[in-house]
Amino acid sequence: MDWQQVFATRNSRMKASEIRELLKLLDQPDIISFAGGIPDPALFPKDDFQAAFSDIFTSDQSDTALQYSVSEGYKPLRDWIAVQMADLGVPCDVDNVLITSGSQQALDYLGKLLISPRDTMLIGWPTYLGALGAFNAYEPTYDKLVPFGNRTASDYAQAATDAGGQVKAAYASVDFANPTGETLDRAARERILALADDLDIAVIEDAAYQALRFDGEAIPPILALEVARKGDIEACRTIYCGSFSKTLAPGLRVGFVVAAKPVIAQMVLLKQASDLHTPTLNQIAVERIVRDGFADQVAKIKKVYGARRDAMLAALEAEMPKDVQWTRPEGGMFVWLTLPDHLDGAALLAQSLESERVAFVPGSAFFADGSGRNSIRLSFSRADEATIAEGIKRLGALLRRTG
Amino acid sequence: MDWQQVFATRNSRMKASEIRELLKLLDQPDIISFAGGIPDPALFPKDDFQAAFSDIFTSDQSDTALQYSVSEGYKPLRDWIAVQMADLGVPCDVDNVLITSGSQQALDYLGKLLISPRDTMLIGWPTYLGALGAFNAYEPTYDKLVPFGNRTASDYAQAATDAGGQVKAAYASVDFANPTGETLDRAARERILALADDLDIAVIEDAAYQALRFDGEAIPPILALEVARKGDIEACRTIYCGSFSKTLAPGLRVGFVVAAKPVIAQMVLLKQASDLHTPTLNQIAVERIVRDGFADQVAKIKKVYGARRDAMLAALEAEMPKDVQWTRPEGGMFVWLTLPDHLDGAALLAQSLESERVAFVPGSAFFADGSGRNSIRLSFSRADEATIAEGIKRLGALLRRTG
């Protein structure tokens, strides 16, 4: 059978990521990997999970945990999230919260909710690869949100019309973003809001790393800034996406969306039609862990990742040639390096694997148009400080040889 | 904000199901419910789950179970499924298997994979409500696959062209289908295959209830019949969707798809973009349970549901007026009643809740065009035999009064 003749046109946008395929090859034990942006399993609260699952199966919750449940999500977990959001400056109630299977699913649903083919999404340049993957299924056009140029709302609107649709949303990863590690300052957040108001579009705030701030002053979420302006989440256009993947464990696939009720109500229908609900068991386990131990768990991982960030920045300072620049993240998992113009991140990776046994991700993977060839992403989440120092030393030596 | 102006057009097809909303109201303890088609939690293998999760967290699997994993799914579970499929007449290997978050997610992905707006899906009339929900997001046209009329392949193709697209797939729930409880016989399965061959379209075989046969002779899956014809799964157009929701527990959200490798490869990309992977922990727990105890678990639930099916059929025989007909399912969870033409299932439900405190689902919910008003669906999965007898007695009395 010629499957191409029955596949819908959207599938032509769904290609295997070269980067993801490459990352599968990097599990060899002698490689120092700064590639995958994934948590260190040593920091998973395993004892808490063991206790949570044991309690569920020895309590009267076991029937509930194994049964179908509502698409909105487990109410005690949604209640807990609503309280956390109030602490972040977003007073809301349980009906403003939807549980998703990781924040990746929230991005998929937001593509499904908003994008008709040829509509425009405003995104960072570079941006989170998984957002591009999720949105691509709905066949959007992309335009640059960040870095900001001098374009006005009507410039954006005209470009979208020329592309055959309308601007639907601005997507921004706000804190210690994947891939750059950079944080949008308050002025940038206010500017995104003002642009969204002018265009009358949604703002998708990706806050996957929000809890992982090591130092510096926390900046209110875009949604909190908008609530402060407009008085009520129901008047807000910002859709906040959070996750427990970076703080507890990603293998559970539990994330959430916080937004005005008409958005949540429609997303509940998308959830019902696409997988009925996030596993009941996983939601109950997460709620049992966060209600008592979230602050301690976050403090524990911030201490470890913060020390690794320090080690990576110190090593970069000591080892990199003068013509290499890098970001200085205040949290998260990533540092972004800008190499001299004539260097290519993908070619450098091939060399680095061959001669240095050090892995990272070439930066062009994170640009919707494949630009950014002279950049690379380093993750400091998985290696200890001594390994980070050694890996950066090798990378610096390679760059001095090739630069 | 006027959200309608940024919602994609597909959302107009995603309405809250009146039935699902109604079912939320039926949890009152004095109601005898034949409504929800959900498993009896008393049959969940809780001890097995408790042991599985305990083993995971006291073994070296805990890191793996809590970490990100590949979109294809947990390999030992995919291997186990491949062996089961071979037993059903479908020799295949691990790369023919994708793990999904319940079979509902498989239906969503198949809509995403196949349907461009205005393409035609051939479906049962009535059919599974969740399939309509999943497909609706991709804006198809529906045409009747079953019951078979006298239409030829070119009649179907012409109707699809007239609707502005092409026929993409035939969807069939094959064993003890939701909602009718009926099973497609071998001749009907062969006929679907022949039609699909003529149209050069996919066949989506929904086998969610496949393991729940109480009596009668098992009929090979459509995919097995096709492999028998064509010699190899790679030459087959049938995409088989299975689930552990009816046999183990639905709250885990673990299902699977078995198909030719080009289909699985593309669905892996859809999975990666939409939720990365089904929770690692849940897949490992399911594999631990099925590898030793699947046959025993299935035998246990078949015995209980089989006795309930017997009780319902006996009560219908004793209590129903002569002008009511019903199906005699050989497995599954459902019996389908056809009432006299002048009766309306929805009106009957209102009366039944009021005077009899007996709940069921009006049949029109399961027809893409809202027809079938004089039918109702009864589920026998949740009530014990005495309760079934009492509920059917009340319903029979109501029908004699209103008929």
pLDDT at A13: 86
Backbone angles phi, psi at B329, to 5 degrees: -70, 145
Q: Which of B12, B38, B257, B276 to mutate to test the interface with A (most CBs of A within 10 A)?
A: B276
Res A67 pLDDT > 90: yes
pLDDT at B23: 62
Element spanning A167, H or E: strand A167-173
Res A149 pLDDT > 90: no
Using alpha carbons, select from A128, A219, A119 the residue that is nearest to residue A171: A128
What residues does CATH 3.90.1150.10 cover in chain A? Answer: 3-45+296-402
How far lies A37's CA from each of A58, A128, B67, B148, in Å?
36, 11, 12, 53
What residues does CATH 3.40.640.10 cover in chain A? Answer: 68-293
The mean pLDDT value of chain B amounts to 95
Token pair recorded at residue A14: 């769904």
Res B44 pLDDT > 70: yes
- Comparing CB atoms, the residue among A7, A112, A262 nearest residue B137 is A112
**pTM tops 0.90, yes or no:** yes
Q: Which residue of B has its CA nearest to A169?
A: B6
pLDDT digits (tens, 9 = 90+) for B64-109: 999 999 999 999 999 999 999 999 999 999 999 999 999 999 999 9
Res A24 pLDDT > 90: no
Q: Which residue of B has its CA nearest to A48?
A: B57
Distance from CA of B324 to the nearest CA of A (A): 32
- Comparing CB atoms, the residue among A67, A237, A251 nearest residue B251 is A67
User: Region A272-286: what's the mean pLDDT?
Assistant: 97
pLDDT confidence of A27, banded at 50, 70, 90? Answer: low
Using alpha carbons, select from A222, A165, A221, A218 the residue that is nearest to residue A197: A222
- What residues 128-187 of chain A have any CB closer than 8 A to a CB of chain B? 130, 133-134, 136-138, 168-169
A304 touches chain B (CB under 8 A): no
Contact (CB, 8 A) for B357 and B280: no
Token pair recorded at residue B252: 């885990």
pLDDT at B24: 65
Domain B3-44+296-402 has what CATH class?
Answer: alpha beta
- Other residues' Cβ atoms within 10 Å of the Cβ of residue A302: 18
Distance from CA of B196 to the nearest CA of A (A): 11
Distance from CA of A161 to the nearest CA of B (A): 14
Using alpha carbons, select from B354, B377, B308 the residue that is nearest to residue B43: B308
Distance from CA of B110 to the nearest CA of A (A): 9
Question: Which one is the CATH code of A68-293: 3.40.640.10, 3.30.70.100, 3.50.50.60, 3.90.199.10?
Answer: 3.40.640.10
pLDDT digits (tens, 9 = 90+) for B136-189: 999 999 999 988 888 999 999 999 999 999 999 999 999 999 999 999 999 999
pLDDT at B19: 63
Q: What is the DSSP letter of A368?
A: T
pLDDT digits (tens, 9 = 90+) for A199-227: 999 999 999 999 999 999 999 999 999 99
CA atoms within 13 A of residue A78's CA, in its CB half-sphere: 21
pLDDT at B15: 78
pLDDT at B355: 94
A7 touches chain B (CB under 8 A): yes
Distance from CA of A74 to the nearest CA of B (A): 12
User: Region B24-35: what's the mean pLDDT?
Assistant: 80
User: Region A40-44: what's the mean pLDDT?
Assistant: 96
Token pair recorded at residue B200: 């050069």
- Other residues' Cβ atoms within 10 Å of the Cβ of residue A176: 26
pLDDT digits (tens, 9 = 90+) for A85-125: 999 999 999 999 999 999 999 999 999 999 999 999 999 99
Using alpha carbons, select from B375, B358, B356 the residue that is nearest to residue B366: B375
How many whole angstroms separate alpha carbon A177 and alpha carbon A237? 21
Pairs across A and B, CB distance < 8 A: 246
B8 touches chain A (CB under 8 A): yes
Burial of B105 (0-12, 13-18, 19+ CB in 10 A): buried
Distance from CA of B382 to the nearest CA of A (A): 12
The amino acid at A371: S
pLDDT at B140: 97
Contact (CB, 8 A) for A349 and A23: no
Res A16 pLDDT > 90: no
Question: Which has more pLDDT, A266 or B17?
Answer: A266
SS3 A310: helix
- Comparing CB atoms, the residue among A67, A200, A270 nearest residue B14 is A270
Contacts of A43 in chain B (CB under 8 A): none
Where do runs of H (alpha helix) occur along A209-324? 222-230, 261-274, 280-319
pLDDT at A25: 63
- B2 and A279 within 8 Å at the Cβ level: the answer is no
The amino acid at B384: D
- CA B107 remoteness from chain centre: 9
Contacts of A64 in chain B (CB under 8 A): 251
pLDDT confidence of A58, banded at 50, 70, 90? Answer: very high
- What residues 14-73 of chain A have any CB closer than 8 A to a CB of chain B? 14-17, 20, 24, 38-39, 41-42, 44, 46, 49-50, 53-54, 57-58, 62-70
A273 touches chain B (CB under 8 A): yes
Q: Which residues contact B133 (CB under 8 A, 6 or more apart)?
A: A272, A273, B14, B17
- Comparing CB atoms, the residue among B57, B252, B263 nearest residue A279 is B252
What residues does CATH 3.90.1150.10 cover in chain B? Answer: 3-44+296-402
User: Region A46-67: what's the mean pLDDT?
Assistant: 95
Contacts of B169 in chain A (CB under 8 A): 6
SS3 B242: strand
Burial of A217 (0-12, 13-18, 19+ CB in 10 A): exposed
How many whole angstroms separate alpha carbon A230 and alpha carbon A242? 22
SS3 A32: strand
Distance from CA of A252 to the nearest CA of B (A): 5
Please list, residue by residue across B301-311, b when 16 or more beta carbons sit within 10 angstroms of its beta carbon and e when fewer do. Answer: bbeebbebbeb
Q: Which of B112, B227, B245 to mutate to test the interface with A (most CBs of A within 10 A)?
A: B112
pLDDT digits (tens, 9 = 90+) for B286-301: 999 999 899 999 999 9
- CA B334 remoteness from chain centre: 12
pLDDT at A21: 65
Question: Which has more pLDDT, B27 or A313?
Answer: A313
Statement: B46-293 belongs to CATH 3.40.718.10: no
Q: Which residues contact A96 (CB under 8 A, 6 or more apart)?
A: A82, A85, A233, A258, A259, A260, A261, A264
Burial of B394 (0-12, 13-18, 19+ CB in 10 A): middle
SS3 A327: coil
- B5 and A200 within 8 Å at the Cβ level: the answer is yes
Distance from CA of B278 to the nearest CA of A (A): 7
pLDDT at B376: 97
Res A28 pLDDT > 80: no
Distance from CA of A340 to the nearest CA of B (A): 32
pLDDT at B56: 96
Q: Which of B4, B7, B167, B289 to mutate to test the interface with A (most CBs of A within 10 A)?
A: B7
A116 touches chain B (CB under 8 A): yes
How many whole angstroms separate alpha carbon B18 and alpha carbon B177? 21
- B252 and A3 within 8 Å at the Cβ level: the answer is no
- What residues 317-376 of chain B have any CB closer than 8 A to a CB of chain A? none
Domain A3-45+296-402 has what CATH class?
Answer: alpha beta
- What residues 93-112 of chain A have any CB closer than 8 A to a CB of chain B? 101-102, 104-105, 108, 112
pLDDT at B109: 98
pLDDT confidence of B21, banded at 50, 70, 90? Answer: low
- B133 and A9 within 8 Å at the Cβ level: the answer is no
The bridge status of strand B375-379 relative to strand B361-362 is antiparallel
